Chains A and B, each alone.
Chain A
């Protein structure tokens, strides 16, 4: 089954404790992206990747890192989480390389709480 898998689904952590949210897709998609969803703000892009070893900032990259060492995986790293990063996070992927008209496939989300 074609899917985007995020882990964990729920995560509660404390300020400053490094964490990683994993994302994996089995559709051989070149394009992958991370979004955060906050009430009244819709989805905002954090980082995206056009292909292996190619990543770039989205609209709200501060406090986040990503890597794309393999085509299928695109982990989101919070080196020192803060309470304002409490949010619902989504990973998404699409193909072909120019993703302008290709629909995104989303994971089921990771709800992160930073205390």
Chain B
């Protein structure tokens, strides 16, 4: 069965510091990988996605993620965070189910808290 594990439930960091949010997945089949961000009192919005090709993926707001197939990881990074990056971040894996289209499996979420 496929699963997604976000290794940190909360990540506090100071403004302008770098940050890495970790995500590991398990799957016996090919997957697509996503990071979503949820700002307070809002729905989730797509931050970036990996479908194929270059393993380094750039997203919105200066975030990037690297797909590592051997380690089955898809960690999210930003070199310098802002207060406005405070949000909850979800890693997700999309598994192809030929009879059902895609199934998106979410991790538990990581709360990023950026302090001045």
Contact B102 A98 (CB under 8 A): yes
Within 8 A of A (CB), among B2-55: 4, 6, 9, 32, 34, 36, 41-46, 49, 51
Do A41 and B32 form a contact, CB below 8 Å, given A50-B100, A100-B95, A108-B42?
Answer: no
- Per DSSP, chain B at the interface is strand
Chain B residue total in the interface (Cβ 8 A): 28
A89 CB to closest chain B CB, in angstroms?
Answer: 10
Whether A45 contacts B32 by the Cβ 8 Å rule is: no
- Chain A residues closer than 8 Å to B94, beta-carbon distance: 99-101
Contact of B102 among A44, A90, A92, A99 (CB under 8 A): A99
In Å, the complex CA distance between A34 and B65 comes to 27
Q: How far is the CB of B2 from chain A (nearest CB, A)?
A: 11
B69-77, B78-86, B104-112 - the one binding chain A? B104-112
Q: How far is the CB of B66 from chain A (nearest CB, A)?
A: 19
Give the interface residue-count category, chain A: 20 to 34
Chain A interfacial positions (CB closer than 8 Å to B): 4, 31, 33, 35, 40-45, 50, 56, 90, 92, 97-104, 106-109
Residues of B near any A CB (own CB < 8 A) = 4, 6, 9, 32, 34, 36, 41-46, 49, 51, 90, 94-97, 100-104, 106-109
